Structure 1
Amino acid sequence: MSYQILQYIKFLLKSTNQHGVHSPFVYNLVTQCFYNKTKYTDYKTILNYRKALLKNNNILNVTDFGAGSHTFKTSERKISEMAKYAGSTLKRAKLLYKICKYFKPDNILEIGTSLGISTHAMSLGNSKSKITSLEGCPNISQFTSNLLNNNNVNIDTGNFSETLKTQDNKPLDLVFFDGNHQKEATISYFESLIETAHNDSVFIFDDIYWSKGMTEAWEIIKQHPKVTVTIDTFFWGFVFFRKEQVKQHFTIRL
């Protein structure tokens, strides 16, 4: 049995919905955002963006600075296959949209642009936000930048450990960690950005059960003294820094 399947079984056994939540902040987030069933008109735009990528058979030569891919074995990759196997699913893109609509973050940092499915969804969720997205591969960066063509999105290209150093130390309202699924790198990025977090910031970690190392990183992040509320949704881990809340962890089914 694979690591992810075993962890998912454990997740299902201990996870709950809004009825197991006694924190008003988390209860409202779950009921008004996570479980929000509104069919927003922007969902069609999100769907069409992803559909166009799934139909694009052009090939990109990819430089991978992260943990590598469970799917791709060569550096030459079809855009359609990248969208299918490495890009955000429609469900996750919609959730990111709802999160940005709910929290209305002004300053967003995304670590790992890829084909911009998540970037696009976040920009629609709050059109007034300023999004800085970091991408390691120059070819992907150029392709996605041309595709998005969005004044609110700035893509910085280079190794994340270097591009993170060039970011000004302004407070960040939302950080989406989706670029390097390695334990040490994830912890390093978190620690380098912890000073940008304020009371209402949210940090979102992608694929916290991608590997044993990623789960270990998630457990370390949960224990950080500045972290108060954490939510495990299996595919994402949410981190909050609300000083008015007692330290508490939630495991929520989406």
Structure 2
Amino acid sequence: MFCVLFSYLKFLLKSTNEHGVHSPFVFNYVTKCLYLKQKRDNIKSINILLKSIAYFNHKNIELYGKQDLKKPLQIHFPNMVIGANMIDVVYADELEIDMLKRLFSEEKLHNNSMIFINSIHQTPEKQELWRNLIELPLITVSIDMFHCGVLFIRKEQVKEHFIIRI
């Protein structure tokens, strides 16, 4: 509990809103997706995931972890393919670096793939994993939203890390 509270206070001190974002890609994502008042789910991180899938018009998702997302995905995106060869979105409660490298080496991830990790500040181990993931050379854009984190593979963009209040 103390770890989460301390992490949240650090997050509040470092975070910004859309005015602190200088990347057009991230600015549009924040203003046209994350800050929309539309509510698709009561769980904040799942709501962010569902809004992101709609915003980017993703069609294929790979699910790792305990979270049961099949029902909300079927309700909001009946044509979504779970477990396709080419992955638009990877959802993970916990994503190991080796798993991400394997997906990339198997060429299942593409230039506009999004990796969505739930509860990145829940434990010190998850915080360390998040820091290690954003340091990977293949990750160019990372967004910490406290409740979750999003990683993007965008070859046309310089490596940047954002801490966004939502």
What is the TM-score with the length of structure 2 in the denominator? 0.89
In the other structure, the counterpart of 1:250 is 162
- State the superposition RMSD in angstroms: 2.0
Q: Does the 8 Å contact 1:100/1:125 carry over to 2?
A: no
In the other structure, the counterpart of 2:80 is 129
Q: Does the 8 Å contact 1:232/1:252 carry over to 2?
A: yes
Q: Does the 8 Å contact 1:113/1:119 carry over to 2?
A: no
In the other structure, the counterpart of 1:24 is 24
> 1:36: Cα distance to partner?
0.9
The one-letter code matched in structure 2 to 1:15 is: S
The one-letter code matched in structure 2 to 1:21 is: V
Q: Does the 8 Å contact 1:175/1:203 carry over to 2?
A: yes
In the other structure, the counterpart of 1:99 is 52
> 1:209: Cα distance to partner?
1.2
User: How many correspondences in the alignment?
Assistant: 164
The 3-state SS of whatever aligns with 1:243 is coil
What is the TM-score with the length of structure 1 in the denominator? 0.60
The 3-state SS of whatever aligns with 1:3 is helix
User: Structure 1 residues 174 and 109 mapped into 2: Cα distance closer, same or farther (>3 Å)?
Assistant: same
> 1:113: Cα distance to partner?
4.6
Q: Deviations over 1:129-157 (max 9, x none)?
A: 1024xxxxxxxxxxxxxxxxxxxxxxxxx
Segments of 4+ in structure 1 off by > 4 A? Answer: none
In the other structure, the counterpart of 1:135 is none
Q: Which of 55, 58, 65 is the equivalent residue of 1:112? A: 65
5+ long unaligned stretches in structure 1: 47-88, 133-167
Q: Deviations over 1:3-44 (max 9, x none)?
A: 1111110000010111111111101110111011246xxx4x
Identity value in percent: 38
Rounded to whole Å, the distance in 1 between the matches of 2:110 and 2:5 is 35
The one-letter code matched in structure 2 to 1:123 is: Q
* Larger displacement relative to structure 2 (214-223 or 104-113): 104-113
Q: Deviations over 1:176-235 (max 9, x none)?
A: 011xx4xxx622322222332110000011111121111111111111111100000012
Rounded to whole Å, the distance in 1 between the matches of 2:101 and 2:121 is 20
Q: Deviations over 1:21-77 (max 9, x none)?
A: 1111101110111011246xxx4xx5xxxxxxxxxxxxxxxxxxxxxxxxxxxxxxx
Rounded to whole Å, the distance in 2 between the matches of 1:222 and 1:248 is 9
In the other structure, the counterpart of 1:36 is 36
In the other structure, the counterpart of 1:138 is none
Q: Does the 8 Å contact 1:110/1:177 carry over to 2?
A: yes
The structure with higher relative contact order (CA 8 Å, sep 6+) is 2
Rounded to whole Å, the distance in 2 between the matches of 1:242 and 1:192 is 18
In the other structure, the counterpart of 2:119 is 207
5+ long unaligned stretches in structure 2: none
Rounded to whole Å, the distance in 1 between the matches of 2:18 and 2:70 is 28
Rounded to whole Å, the distance in 2 between the matches of 1:197 and 1:226 is 11
